[in-house]
Structure 1
């Protein structure tokens, strides 16, 4: 049952990330074609709750999605099982979230 829940959670996070990736790419293309500098981009994103939520949801979804995927790889290729398998998933997921959250904070509020 846990495997089915993780499978469904990974698919849900993929559905969340798809439009976020497209939005992120569109903004990058807009910024590059507009000739915006890093300072100008940060000037537009800092203090914006909208950008904080956009990238916060993106990071949370990516951390969950990636941790579940790497859990599957650790099980299928590495033969990791049981508590160790769950520990791998949690450590990777929390690590990805911490790194992403730090970046979101820097772009939004630092």
Structure 2
């Protein structure tokens, strides 16, 4: 039953990530074609709750999706089972979340004093 729940959760996060990836790519293409510098981009994202929510949701979806994917790989290819498998999934998921959350905070609120 847990495997089915994780499978469904991974599919739901994939559905969530698809429009977020497209949005991110559209913004990056717009920024590059517009000739915006990194400082100009950060000037537009600093203090923006909208960008914080957009990229925060992206980070949560990626962390969950990636952790479940690595769990499946460890189980199928590595033969890892039980508590080690679950611990690895949680460690990877929390690690991805921590790295992503730090980046989102830095881009949206980190430069504010």
TM-score by length of 2: 0.97
TM-align CA RMSD? 0.3
Map 1:10-89 to 2 at 5 A. 10-89=10-89
Residue 91 of structure 1 pairs with residue 86 of structure 2: no
User: 1:81 deviation in Å?
Assistant: 0.2
- 1:6-29 deviations in Å (ceiling 9; x for gaps): 000000000000000000000000
Q: Secondary structure at the match of 2:78?
A: coil
How many residue pairs get aligned? The number is 110
TM-score by length of 1: 0.99
- 1:17-67 deviations in Å (ceiling 9; x for gaps): 000000000000000000000000000001000000000000000000000
Q: For structure 1, which runs of at least 5 residues remain unmatched after alignment?
A: none
User: 1:92 deviation in Å?
Assistant: 0.2
